[in-house]
Amino acid sequence: MTSVSVHALRCLRQINAWLGTHLQHYRARTRLRRELRLMEERHFHDIGRQRLDLEREAKKPFWRP
């Protein structure tokens, strides 16, 4: 293998790792925000938040932390 192909392979592995990590974060945010939309009023007080805070969080797109 040439040094160029070794370098390219190393870059592809890094990109793949980065994508995998970010996709996991995106899925977790999507799941969390879906659960926030389904929460009942009494649960807001249990976690010390108000509905408006949670609605604002739930409306964010998955890519925004």
Whole-model pTM: value is 0.72
Structurally, how many domains does the chain consist of?
1
Q: Backbone dihedral region of 48: left (phi > 0), alpha (psi from -120 to 50 degrees) or beta? A: left
- Two tokens at 57? 């969080």
pLDDT in tens, 2-60: 777 999 999 999 999 999 999 999 999 999 999 988 988 888 878 888 888 888 999 99
Domain coverage including residue 32: 3-59
Let me know: does 47 contact 41? Beta carbons within 8 Å.
no
- Two tokens at 42? 């009494």
Q: What is the pLDDT of residue 18?
A: 96
One-letter amino acid of 59: K
Q: What is the pLDDT of residue 46?
A: 81
* Domain-located, residue 39: yes
Q: What is the pLDDT of residue 1?
A: 64
* Domain-located, residue 55: yes
* Domain-located, residue 37: yes
Query: Buried (b) or exposed (e) across 48-63, using 16+ Cβ within 10 A?
Result: eeeeeebeeeeeeeee
